[in-house]
Protein backbone atom coordinates (compact mmCIF):
# COMPACT_ATOMS: atom_id res chain seq x y z
CA UNK A 1 0.00 0.00 0.00
CA UNK A 2 1.36 3.43 -0.96
CA UNK A 3 2.06 5.83 1.87
CA UNK A 4 0.10 8.53 0.01
CA UNK A 5 -3.14 7.74 -1.75
CA UNK A 6 -5.17 10.11 -3.91
CA UNK A 7 -8.66 9.95 -5.29
CA UNK A 8 -10.03 10.15 -7.82
CA UNK A 9 -7.33 9.29 -10.35
CA UNK A 10 -9.22 11.14 -13.07
CA UNK A 11 -11.89 13.79 -12.80
CA UNK A 12 -13.81 15.53 -15.56
CA UNK A 13 -16.17 18.37 -14.73
CA UNK A 14 -18.00 21.25 -16.35
CA UNK A 15 -16.73 24.78 -16.05
CA UNK A 16 -18.02 26.39 -12.89
CA UNK A 17 -18.33 23.21 -10.87
CA UNK A 18 -16.92 22.83 -7.36
CA UNK A 19 -14.03 20.36 -7.41
CA UNK A 20 -12.72 18.18 -4.57
CA UNK A 21 -9.59 16.03 -4.69
CA UNK A 22 -8.78 13.81 -1.74
CA UNK A 23 -5.51 12.64 -0.26
CA UNK A 24 -4.92 10.11 2.51
CA UNK A 25 -1.60 9.21 4.05
CA UNK A 26 -0.48 6.51 6.41
CA UNK A 27 2.68 7.93 8.00
CA UNK A 28 3.57 10.70 10.40
CA UNK A 29 4.24 13.92 8.57
CA UNK A 30 5.81 17.32 9.09
CA UNK A 31 3.72 18.84 6.29
CA UNK A 32 1.44 18.02 3.40
CA UNK A 33 1.98 19.60 0.01
CA UNK A 34 -0.33 20.12 -2.94
CA UNK A 35 1.35 20.52 -6.31
CA UNK A 36 0.08 21.32 -9.79
CA UNK A 37 1.49 20.06 -13.08
CA UNK A 38 0.09 21.30 -16.39
CA UNK A 39 0.45 19.03 -19.44
CA UNK A 40 4.02 19.26 -20.67
CA UNK A 41 4.76 21.74 -17.93
CA UNK A 42 6.71 21.94 -14.76
CA UNK A 43 5.54 21.42 -11.20
CA UNK A 44 4.31 24.30 -9.10
CA UNK A 45 3.79 24.20 -5.35
CA UNK A 46 0.28 25.30 -4.44
CA UNK A 47 0.04 24.69 -0.70
CA UNK A 48 2.08 23.46 2.19
CA UNK A 49 0.12 22.83 5.37
CA UNK A 50 0.41 21.01 8.66
CA UNK A 51 -2.94 21.92 10.18
CA UNK A 52 -6.24 23.59 9.42
CA UNK A 53 -7.05 25.26 6.17
CA UNK A 54 -5.39 27.53 3.63
CA UNK A 55 -6.91 29.53 0.79
CA UNK A 56 -5.36 31.05 -2.29
CA UNK A 57 -7.73 32.58 -4.78
CA UNK A 58 -10.21 29.90 -5.84
CA UNK A 59 -8.15 27.11 -4.28
CA UNK A 60 -8.66 25.84 -0.75
CA UNK A 61 -6.65 23.14 1.01
CA UNK A 62 -7.64 21.48 4.25
CA UNK A 63 -6.01 18.88 6.43
CA UNK A 64 -7.24 16.68 9.27
CA UNK A 65 -4.19 15.41 11.12
CA UNK A 66 -6.12 12.94 13.28
CA UNK A 67 -7.72 11.30 10.23
CA UNK A 68 -4.55 11.63 8.10
CA UNK A 69 -6.57 13.18 5.31
CA UNK A 70 -6.38 16.29 3.17
CA UNK A 71 -8.61 17.78 0.51
CA UNK A 72 -7.98 20.26 -2.27
CA UNK A 73 -11.01 22.23 -3.40
CA UNK A 74 -11.40 24.41 -6.46
CA UNK A 75 -14.33 26.79 -6.56
CA UNK A 76 -15.82 28.09 -9.81
CA UNK A 77 -13.59 25.79 -11.85
CA UNK A 78 -12.21 27.03 -15.16
CA UNK A 79 -10.64 25.21 -18.12
CA UNK A 80 -7.24 26.66 -17.16
CA UNK A 81 -7.48 24.62 -13.95
CA UNK A 82 -7.07 21.49 -16.08
CA UNK A 83 -3.88 19.87 -14.82
CA UNK A 84 -2.57 17.02 -12.71
CA UNK A 85 -2.83 17.73 -8.99
CA UNK A 86 -0.35 15.90 -6.81
CA UNK A 87 -0.46 15.36 -3.07
CA UNK A 88 2.87 14.84 -1.32
CA UNK A 89 4.06 14.58 2.26
CA UNK A 90 7.28 15.46 4.00
CA UNK A 91 8.13 13.52 7.12
CA UNK A 92 10.94 15.33 8.86
CA UNK A 93 11.52 18.92 9.80
CA UNK A 94 14.85 19.92 8.34
CA UNK A 95 14.69 17.31 5.58
CA UNK A 96 11.53 17.99 3.63
CA UNK A 97 12.02 15.33 0.95
CA UNK A 98 8.66 14.50 -0.54
CA UNK A 99 6.76 11.24 -0.89
CA UNK A 100 4.22 11.64 -3.65
CA UNK A 101 0.75 10.39 -4.43
CA UNK A 102 0.00 9.22 -7.96
CA UNK A 103 -1.81 12.41 -8.90
CA UNK A 104 -5.32 13.35 -10.01
CA UNK A 105 -5.82 14.34 -13.62
CA UNK A 106 -8.45 17.11 -13.72
CA UNK A 107 -10.14 18.15 -16.93
CA UNK A 108 -12.54 21.10 -16.94
CA UNK A 109 -14.81 21.26 -19.96
CA UNK A 110 -15.96 24.71 -21.14
CA UNK B 1 13.77 36.81 -10.16
CA UNK B 2 15.27 33.69 -11.68
CA UNK B 3 13.77 30.37 -10.76
CA UNK B 4 15.38 26.95 -10.65
CA UNK B 5 17.03 26.13 -13.95
CA UNK B 6 18.05 22.76 -15.31
CA UNK B 7 20.11 21.70 -18.28
CA UNK B 8 19.86 20.15 -20.71
CA UNK B 9 16.11 20.24 -21.17
CA UNK B 10 16.28 17.06 -23.22
CA UNK B 11 18.94 14.39 -23.44
CA UNK B 12 18.96 11.32 -25.64
CA UNK B 13 21.72 8.85 -24.95
CA UNK B 14 22.65 5.34 -25.88
CA UNK B 15 22.42 2.55 -23.36
CA UNK B 16 25.70 2.20 -21.49
CA UNK B 17 26.78 5.83 -21.81
CA UNK B 18 27.22 8.18 -18.86
CA UNK B 19 25.14 11.35 -18.54
CA UNK B 20 25.36 14.48 -16.39
CA UNK B 21 22.34 16.57 -15.52
CA UNK B 22 22.72 20.05 -14.05
CA UNK B 23 20.61 22.03 -11.62
CA UNK B 24 20.98 25.71 -10.72
CA UNK B 25 18.88 26.44 -7.62
CA UNK B 26 17.43 29.78 -6.67
CA UNK B 27 20.13 31.99 -5.19
CA UNK B 28 20.22 31.71 -1.42
CA UNK B 29 18.37 28.40 -1.27
CA UNK B 30 20.45 26.04 0.78
CA UNK B 31 18.21 22.99 0.36
CA UNK B 32 18.29 21.16 -2.99
CA UNK B 33 16.33 18.06 -3.99
CA UNK B 34 16.49 15.74 -6.98
CA UNK B 35 13.39 13.80 -7.97
CA UNK B 36 12.52 11.54 -10.87
CA UNK B 37 9.21 11.25 -12.71
CA UNK B 38 8.72 8.14 -14.78
CA UNK B 39 5.71 6.46 -16.32
CA UNK B 40 6.08 3.34 -14.28
CA UNK B 41 7.04 4.77 -10.90
CA UNK B 42 5.48 8.23 -10.77
CA UNK B 43 7.38 10.85 -8.82
CA UNK B 44 10.11 9.65 -6.49
CA UNK B 45 12.79 11.21 -4.34
CA UNK B 46 16.43 10.67 -5.28
CA UNK B 47 18.76 12.80 -3.16
CA UNK B 48 18.71 15.83 -0.84
CA UNK B 49 21.44 18.38 -0.10
CA UNK B 50 21.29 20.83 2.80
CA UNK B 51 24.16 23.25 3.24
CA UNK B 52 27.35 21.50 4.27
CA UNK B 53 25.58 18.51 5.79
CA UNK B 54 26.06 15.02 4.41
CA UNK B 55 23.50 14.48 1.63
CA UNK B 56 20.53 12.17 2.07
CA UNK B 57 21.13 9.61 -0.68
CA UNK B 58 18.44 7.21 0.44
CA UNK B 59 16.42 7.52 -2.78
CA UNK B 60 19.17 6.74 -5.27
CA UNK B 61 18.05 3.56 -7.07
CA UNK B 62 21.50 2.09 -7.67
CA UNK B 63 25.20 2.83 -7.34
CA UNK B 64 25.18 3.99 -10.96
CA UNK B 65 23.58 7.19 -9.67
CA UNK B 66 25.57 9.87 -7.90
CA UNK B 67 25.22 13.57 -7.27
CA UNK B 68 27.31 16.40 -5.99
CA UNK B 69 26.72 19.98 -5.05
CA UNK B 70 29.63 22.34 -5.43
CA UNK B 71 29.95 25.47 -3.35
CA UNK B 72 26.50 25.02 -1.93
CA UNK B 73 24.90 26.06 -5.21
CA UNK B 74 24.96 24.17 -8.50
CA UNK B 75 24.29 20.44 -8.39
CA UNK B 76 25.11 17.72 -10.91
CA UNK B 77 23.36 14.35 -11.07
CA UNK B 78 25.45 11.72 -12.83
CA UNK B 79 24.13 8.44 -14.16
CA UNK B 80 26.75 5.95 -15.22
CA UNK B 81 26.21 3.13 -17.70
CA UNK B 82 22.66 4.26 -18.43
CA UNK B 83 19.91 1.68 -18.82
CA UNK B 84 16.57 1.98 -20.56
CA UNK B 85 14.78 2.01 -17.22
CA UNK B 86 16.62 5.27 -16.41
CA UNK B 87 14.46 7.04 -19.00
CA UNK B 88 12.45 9.62 -17.08
CA UNK B 89 12.13 13.31 -16.34
CA UNK B 90 14.65 14.35 -13.72
CA UNK B 91 13.46 17.25 -11.60
CA UNK B 92 15.37 19.51 -9.30
CA UNK B 93 13.81 21.61 -6.55
CA UNK B 94 15.21 24.07 -4.07
CA UNK B 95 14.00 25.73 -0.89
CA UNK B 96 15.10 28.01 1.89
CA UNK B 97 16.39 26.15 4.91
CA UNK B 98 13.56 25.07 7.26
CA UNK B 99 10.97 26.47 4.83
CA UNK B 100 9.96 23.26 3.14
CA UNK B 101 8.26 25.19 0.31
CA UNK B 102 9.89 23.79 -2.81
CA UNK B 103 10.44 25.52 -6.13
CA UNK B 104 10.76 23.08 -8.99
CA UNK B 105 12.85 23.39 -12.10
CA UNK B 106 11.50 22.54 -15.56
CA UNK B 107 13.17 19.14 -15.55
CA UNK B 108 15.48 17.24 -17.87
CA UNK B 109 13.83 14.61 -20.03
CA UNK B 110 16.26 11.71 -20.37
CA UNK B 111 15.71 9.08 -23.04
CA UNK B 112 17.97 6.05 -23.13
CA UNK B 113 17.89 4.20 -26.44
Residue of A30, A45, A94 with shortest CB distance to B102: A45
DSSP code of A79?
Answer: G
pLDDT, residue B40, reads 74
pLDDT, residue B1, reads 59
**pLDDT tens string B74-103:** 999 999 999 999 999 999 999 997 788 999
Beta-carbon contacts of residue B78 (< 8 Å; ≥ 6 apart): B18, B19, B20, B21, B65, B66, B67, B68
A-to-B residue pairs, Cβ atoms closer than 8 angstroms: 53
Helix (H, G, I), strand (E, B) or coil at B97: coil
Residue B102 contacts A where some CB pair is shorter than 8 Å: yes
For chain B, what's the residue count?
A: 113
Work out the percent of chain B whose per-residue pLDDT is above 70. 99
Confidence of residue B63 (pLDDT cuts 50, 70, 90): very high
Beta-carbon contacts of residue A96 (< 8 Å; ≥ 6 apart): A30, A31, A90, B31, B33, B95, B99, B100, B102
CB contact under 8 A, B104 and A44: yes
Q: What is the mean pLDDT of chain A?
A: 95
Residue A48 contacts B where some CB pair is shorter than 8 Å: yes
Residue of B56, B104, B107 with shortest CB distance to A97: B56
Distances (CA, A) of B19 to A16, A105, B67: 46, 31, 11
Yes or no: say if B111 and B87 are a contact pair by the CB < 8 Å rule: yes
Helix (H, G, I), strand (E, B) or coil at B77: strand
Average pLDDT over residues B24-48: 93
Amino acid sequence: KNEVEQSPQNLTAQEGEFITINCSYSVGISALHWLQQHPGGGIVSLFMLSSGKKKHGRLIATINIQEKHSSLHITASHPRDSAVYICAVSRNFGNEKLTFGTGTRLTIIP
Amino acid sequence: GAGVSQSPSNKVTEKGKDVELRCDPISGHTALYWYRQSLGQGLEFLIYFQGNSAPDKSGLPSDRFSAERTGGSVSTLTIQRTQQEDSAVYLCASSLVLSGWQYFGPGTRLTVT
